[in-house]
Amino acid sequence: MSHRTARVNRAGLAIVGLVLAVAGGLALARGLGMSFLWPPYSPVISEQTAGYAAGHGWFWPAVALAALVVEILALRWLLLQGRTDSLRRLSLEPDSGHGATHLSARAAAGALEDDVRESLHAGRGERAPRGERVRASLSGAPGTPRVALAMVLPDETDPSAARHGAQGAVTRLRQSLELDRLPATIRMHTTRTHP
C-alpha cells in the first residue's frame, strides 16, 4: 500500500500547493497594483465583505462545514503516513472450499530472515559479523502477500553475493508457501565495521 501512500502524498501536496500558490499570487498581484479589477488600497476585509457575512445567516455555518470537511481529509491524510500495512497472518489455502490454513506472517518473516542469514554465511556456520542485520516483513493481503527484506551488511561484504543469497531465500520462501507470485523488495545498506 506504500505505492498508494506515495500517490496520495503527491496529489495532496499538489492540491495544497496549487491553492496556496494561486491565492498568494492573486493577493500579491492585488497588493502590487497589477490587478485591474480591485484597487490595491482597500482593506483586506472590506466593509462589504463583513456586511455580507453578517447579513447572511448561512455564511458561518457554510464556512464551518467546509472547514470540517477539510479537517477530516487532513486527518485521514495524516493517519495514512503512520500506516505500515503489515500482515498478521497469511492464508495458505487459495480455495475456501477446502477449509482454511493460516500461518503467522511473523513466523514466515522470521524463517526468511534465518534463511537469509544462513545464505550470507554460505552455510559455514559462522557467527554473524558485527553490524550485520536482516529484517523481513510481509504486507499486502493474506492471500497475495508481498515481502520486504532489509539487509545491513558490513561494508567489506560483497553486496552482489548478498543479493544472490537473499534472492535464493525469497525464492525458497515462495516455494514453501506454494505461491506463484510473491513480489519482493530487497534493500541493502552497509555499515562501517573496521576502524
Partner 1 sequence: MTTPDPYSGYPLDPDEGPPTRDLSPPGGGPLVGEPRERKAAPEPRERKAGREPRERKAGRRVADAKAQVRAATVGGPGRRAAAGEFRPRRTAAATVTALLLAAAALVTVVAAVAAMWRGRSHVPPLTWLTPLGRTHWNDPAAITTAAVVCLLGLLLLALALTPGRARVLALASEDQQTVTGITRSGLSRHLASVAARVDGVSRARVRFRGDSVQVNAATPLREVGELPGQVIRAVTARLEELRPLRPMRVRVHVRQREE
Beta carbons of 156 and 138 less than 8 angstroms apart = no
Q: How far apart are alpha carbons 74 and 76 in whole angstroms?
A: 5
Q: How far is the CB of 181 from partner 1 (least distance, A)?
A: 6
Taking the complex as a whole, how short is the minimal distance between the CB of residue 107 and partner 1, in angstroms? 19
The closest alpha carbon to 173, from 102, 91, 100, 116, belongs to 116
- 154's grid cell: 558490513
Reported for 167-172, long-range contacts at CB under 8 A and 24+ positions apart, including other chains, are: 168/119, 169/112, 169/115, 169/116, 169/118, 169/119, 170/112, 172/115
Side chain identity, residue 153? L
Residue closer to partner 1 by CB (options 60, 101) is 60
- Residue 102 or 189: the one with the smaller Cβ distance to partner 1 is 189
Query: Which is nearer to partner 1, 72 or 107 (by Cβ)?
Result: 72
Instruction: Provide the grid cell at 46.
Output: 472590506
User: CB under 8 Å to 53, separation ≥6 — which residues?
Assistant: 59, 60
32 versus 130: smaller Cβ distance to partner 1: 32
Q: Of 107, 106, 121, which Cα lies nearest the Cα of 166?
A: 121
Which of residues 74 and 100 has its CB atom nearest to partner 1 in the complex? 74
What is the amino acid identity at position 159? P
**Closest approach of Cβ 178 to partner 1, in Å?**
11
Least separation, in Å, of the C-beta of 86 and partner 1? 16
Distance in Å, CB of 99 to partner 1, minimum:
26
